[in-house]
Each structure stands twice: as structure tokens, then as C-alpha cells.
Structure 1
Amino acid sequence: MSSGGVGPLCFITSRVNTAVYQQTLLPSADELYGDADFIFQHDLALAHTAKSTKTCFSDHGITVLDWPANSSDLNPIDNLWGIAKRKMRDMRPNNAVELKATNEASWSSIKPPHCHRLIASMPCCIEAVINAKGTQTKY
């Protein structure tokens, strides 16, 4: 996701190792940003912090935001997943094909202004975490 909207929804049927992560991320970043500069935020999962991922990002000119682990209060994608899940609340898929379609419909219904609001809320989220001395916030 970016402040301009959601990227493609990727269905991964294997474990997310460094190769899978890099092969999935790069096309998504190209679709979201094209040649524009951006700062990428991810968490500290092993596939994200591996030396080969750092090299891959460097080779592709991707700047990564230095970010603490387990900081869901400060990660807009976690809020976006919550929105997508709420949109699916009343849907009752009966099989894997219907579940995939439900996920795609929920994801594609998220419009750019909503993503922009999530990104724009970050200064307030950061302030709330600082005021809470790192403990849980309403975000």
C-alpha cells in the first residue's frame, strides 16, 4: 500500500523466504511507484532483514525506513488489513476459490483516499506511542 492506494494482492502458496519476498515485492513496488522515489516500510521478519534482501533493495534503489520490530501501532498496513477483514465480515465463502474472490473484492474496494488517511495519521500515531511511553495506544 501507499498513500496513493493499494497494490496488487498476492496469494502466496509457499513459505515466504527471501526469494519469494523479493520476487513479490519488486513488481508490487513498480506498480505502485513506477520510477518515483519512495521510502519503504516493512517489519523485521527474517525475509525482510536478510542480507540478500538488503542487497536487492540497494541494487534497486529502494530506501528502507529504519523501524522497530513489533510496532503494529505504527504500521499502517496492519490497520489496512483490519479494514479489509471488516469488509469481509458478512461474506461467507464456501471454498478456496470463493475465499480468494472475497479477499480480492475486499482489497480492491479500498480506495486511495482511505490509504492516504492511514498514512497521514502516522504523526498522531507516533505522538500517541511516545505519550504512552511505548505501550499500547488506541491505534
Structure 2
Amino acid sequence: MGKKPVSPFVRAHVVALHDAGFNQVHISKQLNISRCCAQNAIKKYKDQGNYNDLKSSGRPRKVDGRGLRHLKRLVKGDERLSAAKIATDLNASLPKPITTRTVRNYLKELGFEDVVKVKKQWLGVKHRKQRMAWCTQHMNWTRDDWKNVIFSDESTFYVLKRKNQRKIWRLDKEKLLLECLEQTNIGDGGKVGIWGGISDVCTTNTRIYTENMNGQLYCDVLQKEVKQFLAKTPTTAKMVFQQDLAPWYTSNIVKEKIVKLKLNMLEWVPTSPDLNRIEMLWSILDKKLVAKPMYSKAALIDRLQEEWNNIDKDLCIKLVESMPERI
């Protein structure tokens, strides 16, 4: 039909004018198409009885079914090869070589995405066995059981560096504007530590400190923050205290303090931060800190205390209830 495609509607109009007795020259002038287009439209209708183009086979695929199966085998596995390496290996079995870009197109067609690996705690054989034993021991715990757990942890916050990446919408020419920059400094402007605990009831009092956490400091946390929380909790006898296996938590003076305070402890497994509900809270606090810039440790301490005091009870409930019904 010429270089420019002619729609089925125009072809139908051509046939209608032809049936009405108009010649091809008049039809081409009236519809602003070439005489050849009008002639081909009339001929197509006489031969095929319709105005549409026949479905074409399209460009031949460079990789057939067997090649696609080979491609799937190459992209899967422990190594997860790059598109360039996959193209090199795949070309060894193809009659005609293909480019890296073609490999990417076929992978997208198969549903694969080019993404950054998700970071996950490394687990050795010993860790896996310990986790399995722990899950077997607690597999029958219900959400009511998890509601009695006080999840605790400590984290470090920096004056100028945030835990979460900040994304903004901007034009390319705006990238050096002050509001589009992430302020940094040598040493990140200073840091402070924060300890806290959450349960289905509420949060504990928080302890914010500028020194490094150690056994003595943690004993003071147990004596004050944890003991005060249990004192105002009506179901103290049922409450179970959770802590991870950081060195200062497992020191002898801390063990003696736990016995002296008669705390019901939840046995914990190493390298299992994903089970601790309070881990999610640190990221939430960090997002709240973004709202107002800080330039000193004193300001950071005040903001952390303010945001901790403003933690909603419903948020604590949701975090605790996010524990699986059955592990």
C-alpha cells in the first residue's frame, strides 16, 4: 500500500466510492492518497473480501524454544551471571551470535528483572541448625504468646547520616541546589546510641547514651528502664524479656543482674535480627528525623527522645502482631 500505511477505514471508503462508480483517479484525489493505494485497496477487497492487512509472521526470532530453555538455565543458579556473560555462553550454542542487549530483551520478556541483590544475614550450617531448633521449640506459639514478649535492642544514630536512602524528584539542572543535596561531613557529625523496648502494651523508657554500650551500662538499663516498665505492667508475671546475643548482653555481670531481677528471658538464636520486631522501629524513627535538620549531638538526642515519646501504641501493637502465627 505504499510507504505510508492506509487504515482499513480509508480502504473501505475507497471500495465504497468505487462501487458508486467513481474512477481511481477521482478516488485518490478525494481521499488524498495515491492512485496505486486506491487500486490496491480495491484489488485486496476483491481477492480477500476484507479491508485489513493479513497478519504477518514478523521478524524471525533470534532465539528459539531450545535457546530460551538454555537461556533460563544460564540465568538461574548460584552465580546469577551478568547479561554479557550469558550472551557469551549462549552464543556457543547458537548458529548466529546475539548481542548483550538482545539477551536483556529476552530476559525481560521472560519476566526477569535487573535488580540489586537483597542484603540478608549470612547463615552458616551451625546457625541454620540453631534456627531450626529454635523454630521447632516455638512453632506452637500463638500471637497471644508473642504479645507477652518485650522486644529490646539498641541502635546508633548519626547527626548528619541517615539510615535510609532519601529519594527526591528534581530536574537535572537542580542537582546542586541546597534542597537537593544530602548534607555530609567527616565523622558524620557525631553519633549517639539508643536502647529501647516495645511490647503489645507500650514502649519502655528509652536510654540514650553517648558512650559505647558495655556490661555496666546495660546493667543500669535493666535496673531502671526494664524494671520500671515491668512495675507499671499489670501482666508482669507473664512478660518475657528478649535480648540478642551481643557480647555485653552475655557478660557475667549481666547474667547475674538478670538473675537478681528475676527476669523471664526468651532464649534467642544468633544472627536473627529479622525476628526482632523492634528492628523495624529504627527505620521508622530515622524517617521521622529527616523532617528537621540537626547539626549537633545535643539536637539529635532531643529529637530521638521526642520521637520515641511520640511512638503510637497502635504502631507497637502492629509490630508485635506482625510475628507469624506459626513459625
What interval of TM-score do these two structures reach, taking the shorter chain for normalisation?
0.7 to 0.9
Say whether 1:105 aligns with 2:302: no
Give a deviation string over 1:90-134, Cα, whole Å, max 9, x none. 22112222211111121111112211211121125x74xxxxxxx
Q: Does 1:121 align with 2:121?
A: no
- CA contact 2:206–2:308 (8 Å) conserved in 1: yes
Tell me the residue number matched to 1:75: 276
Task: State TM-score, norm by structure 1.
Answer: 0.81
SS in 2 for 1:21: helix
Matches within 5 A, 1:20-35: 20-34=217-231
Question: Structure 1, unaligned stretches of length 5 or more?
Answer: 128-139
Q: Which runs of 4+ in 1 moved over 3 A?
A: none
**Shift of the alpha carbon at 1:70?**
2.1
Kept after mapping to 1: 8 A contact 2:240/2:265: yes
Paired AA for residue 323 in structure 2: M
Report the CA distance between 1:40 and its aligned residue: 0.7
The number of equivalent residue pairs is 126
1:53 is matched with: 254
Deviation, 1:44, is: 0.4
Asked if 2 retains the 8 angstrom alpha-carbon contact of 1:40 and 1:62, the reply is: yes
**SS of corresponding position for 2:208:** coil
The Cα shift of 1:29 comes to 1.2
1:2–1:32 contact (8 Å) kept in structure 2: no
Larger helix fraction of residues: 1
Tell me which amino acid in the other structure corresponds to 2:317.
Answer: H
The residue aligned with 1:8 is: 205
Per-residue deviation, 1:30? 2.1
Partner Cα distance (2:303, 2:208) in 1: 13
The structural deviation recorded for 1:2 is 2.0
* Structure 1 residue 46: Cα displacement: 0.8
Q: Which has the larger radius of gyration?
A: 2
2:216 — aligned with what? 19
Q: Distance in 2 between matches of 1:99 and 1:70?
A: 29
How far residue 49 of structure 1 moved from its aligned partner, in angstroms, is 1.0
Structure 1 residue 80 displacement after superposition: 1.3
Amino acid at match of 1:15: N
Quick one: which amino acid aligns to residue 221 of structure 2? Answer: T
Flag structure 2 segments of 5+ consecutive residues without an equivalent. 1-197
Aligned with 2:283: secondary structure?
helix
Task: Give a deviation string over 1:21-63, Cα, whole Å, max 9, x none.
Answer: 0101221112222171221111100111112212211111101
Write the deviation string for residues 63-94 of structure 1: whole angstroms up to 9, x where unpaired.
Answer: 11111122111001111111111211222112
The RMSD of aligned alpha carbons is 1.7
Aligned residues of 2:203 and 2:316 also touching (Cα < 8 A): yes
Instruction: Measure the CA separation in 1 of the matches of 2:299 and 2:308.
Output: 14
> Between Structure 1 and Structure 2, which shows a larger proportion of strand residues?
2
Aligned-partner Cα distance in 2 for 1:90–1:60: 40
Amino acid at match of 1:63: N
